[in-house]
Amino acid sequence: MTKSNNHYAIEAHNLNIFYGNFQAVKNVDLEIERNKITAIIGPSGCGKSTVIRAFNRMNDFILTARVEGEILFHEKNIYASDIDAVQIRRMIGMVFQKPNPFPKSIYENVAWGARVNGFRGNTDELVEQTLRAAALWDEVKDNLKRNALELSGGQQQRLCIARALAVKPEIILMDEPCSALDPIATLKIEDLMRELSQEYTIIIVTHNMQQAARVSDNTAFFTMDEDRAGIMVEYGLTSHIFTKPHDQRTEDYITGRFG
Judged by the rule CB under 8 A, the positions of this chain that interact with other proteins are 6-8, 29, 31, 33-36, 56, 58, 61, 63, 73-76, 78, 81-84, 86-91, 93-94, 96, 98, 100-103, 112-113, 116-117, 149, 160, 163-164, 167, 170, 199, 218, 234-237, 240, 246-247
CB closer to other proteins, 13 vs 187 = 13
Q: Angle, nearest 10°, between helix axes 123-133 and 106-116?
A: 110
Q: Least separation, in Å, of the C-beta of 25 and other proteins?
A: 17
**What does DSSP say about strands 22-33 and 8-19: parallel, antiparallel, or unpaired?**
antiparallel
Q: Are 34 and 217 in contact (CB under 8 A)?
A: no
> At closest approach, how far in Å is the CB of 137 from other proteins?
20
Closest CB to other proteins among residues 104, 187: 104
What is the smallest separation between the CB atom of 128 and other proteins, expressed in angstroms?
Answer: 19
* Nearest to 128, CA basis, from 118, 114, 117: 114
DSSP state of 111: H
Q: Identify whether the C-beta of residue 3 lies closer than 8 Å to the C-beta of residue 168.
A: no
Compute the least distance from the CB of residue 139 to other proteins, in Å.
21
The residue among 83 and 187 lying less far from other proteins, judged by its C-beta, is 83
- Shortest approach of other proteins to residue 4 CB, angstroms? 12
Instruction: For other proteins, give the closer residue by CB, 107 or 235.
Output: 235
Task: Return the closest-CA partner of residue 39 out of 244, 255, 218, 223.
Answer: 218
CB of 222 to other proteins, least distance (A): 14
Nearest CB to other proteins, comparing residues 34 and 207: 34
Candidates 152, 131, 154; CA nearest to 141 is 131
Q: Which residues pair with 40 in a beta bridge?
A: 205, 220
CB of 156 to other proteins, least distance (A): 11
d(CA 93, CA 169): 6
Nearer to other proteins, 94 or 189 (CB): 94
CB neighbour class for 252 (10 Å; exposed up to 12, middle 13-18, buried from 19): middle
Cβ nearer to other proteins, comparing 170 with 187: 170
Distance, in Å, from the CA atom of 66 to the CA atom of 124, rounded to the nearest integer, reads 41
Q: How far is CA 130 from CA 107, 124, 127, 251, in A?
A: 11, 10, 5, 39
